[in-house]
Amino acid sequence: MATARRLSRFWPSPWSLGAVLIAAIVVGPILAVVWIALFPSDNIWPHLISTTLPRYMKNTGILMSLTGTLAAVVGTGTAWMVCRYDFVGRRWLEWLLLLPLAIPAYMGAYALVDFLEYAGPVQTALRELFGWSSARDYWFPQIRSMGAAVLVLGAALYPYVYLLARAAFREQSGSAEEVAQSLGAGALGRFFRVGLPLARPAIAAGVAIVMMETVNDFGAVDYFAVQTLTTGIFSVWLQSGNAGGAAQIACVVLVLVILLVSLEKSSRRRMQFFNLSSRHRPVPRRRLRGLAGLVAMLLCALPFLFGFVLPSGVLLSHALDSAARWNDPALIAAMGNTLMVGGIAAVVTVAGGIFLVYGVRLSGRRIPRLLLPVTTIGYAAPGAVLGIGILIPLAGLDHVLADFVEGVTGWDIGLLLTGSAFALVLAYCVRFFAIAQGAADAAMGRVSPNLALAARSLGRTQGQVLGAVYYPLIRASIASALLLVFVDCVKELPATLLLRPFNFDTLATRVHEQASLENIAGAAPPALLVILVGLCAVGLLARANR
């Protein structure tokens, strides 16, 4: 017994080894991208710097800055109004403002172009109203442009800022508002001098998320013909056939994402405020009547109308034009593929997150504890970056495995890893592992360690403690994590485009394929199915943030 105890101090348990292995799998693709960029077979870095990279970086910087600003203004403004004022429709709008999260930005881009293009209902109505016969008779803004991309991305992503800002405004004390009001501060003064500074860390966190999602976007910017770092990865890799150059651009994206994460954490660290009063009293809402109430309602309704009603309405109108599109075998196959890879990825990701968190808690060693926060980097890394870090190493491993089996058995097994959905499932697991890990860590943190110790004293093994003690208490959190990971898998486009097997479509890739062919009617049914899945996640999010 004493010998076993001494060995356990030096030899890690299977739980610790498993936790380290899972962390290595999650972090591996990021390290692979860095390795491929540092040691490319054909170094085109000087050519990129002198030609396309400055344009990619400029467009990405402009897009991030404008989208972040728009999301900050809309998200913060609407959150302030629903938290500080009471007007007609406020209770409904408080939750309706979350619905644009259900619509991926690329679907909003397809719907906006269809709505505003020359043959769309807006320009058609203008020509009939004023008697214009062609586009030469009038001026209309350029639809496929940087400005349109900013509007679509801002409308799709502002709920991240709104959700965090609303929570921050709710937690503020009414005492501070009363003091500011007694000193003569008006409504704007209280907002800029009290409410906004106290909510700044939450707003900064939301804006950082918006900017990271903007960097990750491919479908919307590609449809609007805006060349960003993400589109550059696709161009250099798929069109020029240079994986090393694509990895080098991917490293630029990674540096950009790491800077955003660092700035967000730094802003939270420097801007911490505490409620010193023992009796917290929420800020009472002020009733708005007449014209003021109408203006507040319209300002809050506008983001919901533009971010959800417009795109879903356009897609629904096309989907209802022909019921035969819903019976398309390609659509049914894409739905089956989506359910399969999304379901497998969700189960594997959540199981891995639980195993990692539980293994780190059992280990108590320094290395597993240090690896725990590192595994969240996959969520910040764009899907195109993960595609490079997964496909190239797996392709090499695939060929080695196939040659070995053929040499031993004489049987050509083909490409098992990259020729199947394995690479796609792995990308989903790495990309959304942070969701599962965060949910498992938070849920297990709420379970008293005394319960586990009591079970161990009764002779239960560590695995039995996880199944008999932890699982019943964290079951609801696990279900939520499964749903959230599944929804994100359904909406993911860049990684799916890069890693899907030949002739393997998901709902997201089918939407992109049909929209790229200017067939919005064919893209509408799969787009609506994606939106319905997204609404489930939004409903869960709204329930958790009551």
The string of pLDDT tens digits covering residues 8-62 is 454 567 777 877 888 888 888 888 999 989 988 888 889 889 989 999 999 999 9
**pLDDT attached to residue 4:** 47
- Report the Cα 500 to chain-centroid distance in Å: 19
In the chain, what are the domains? 66-239+252-321 (1.10.3720.10), 322-546 (1.10.3720.10)
Alpha helices, H only, 224-328: 229-234, 243-270, 290-304, 310-321
Strand, coil or helix: what is 133? coil
Mean pLDDT calculated for residue range 399-423: 83
Q: If residue 153 lies in a helix (H) or strand (E), which one and from where to where?
A: helix 146-171
Mean pLDDT calculated for residue range 111-133: 89
Reference 115, options 315, 298, 362, 396; nearest CA is 315
Q: What pTM was computed for the model?
A: 0.86
- Cβ-proximal residues to 264 (8 Å cutoff; 6+ apart), any chain: 204, 205, 208
Angle of helix 520-544 relative to helix 329-363, nearest 10 degrees, comes to 30
Q: Quick one: tokens of 79? A: 């959150």
**pLDDT attached to residue 212:** 87
Reference 391, options 413, 429, 422, 347; nearest CA is 422
**Is 191 a residue whose pLDDT tops 80?**
no
- Cβ-proximal residues to 146 (8 Å cutoff; 6+ apart), any chain: 59, 62, 63, 66, 224, 226
Residue 130 identity (one-letter amino acid): F
Angle of helix 383-409 relative to helix 14-38, nearest 10 degrees, comes to 100
How far apart, in whole angstroms, are the C-alpha atoms of residue 170 and residue 303?
Answer: 21
**Which residues are registered as beta bridge partners of 282?**
173
Mean pLDDT calculated for residue range 140-166: 92
| Burial annotation 470-486 (CB, 10 A radius, 16+ → b, else e) | beeebeebbebbbbbbb
User: What are 448-458's pLDDT values in tens digits?
Assistant: 778 888 887 88
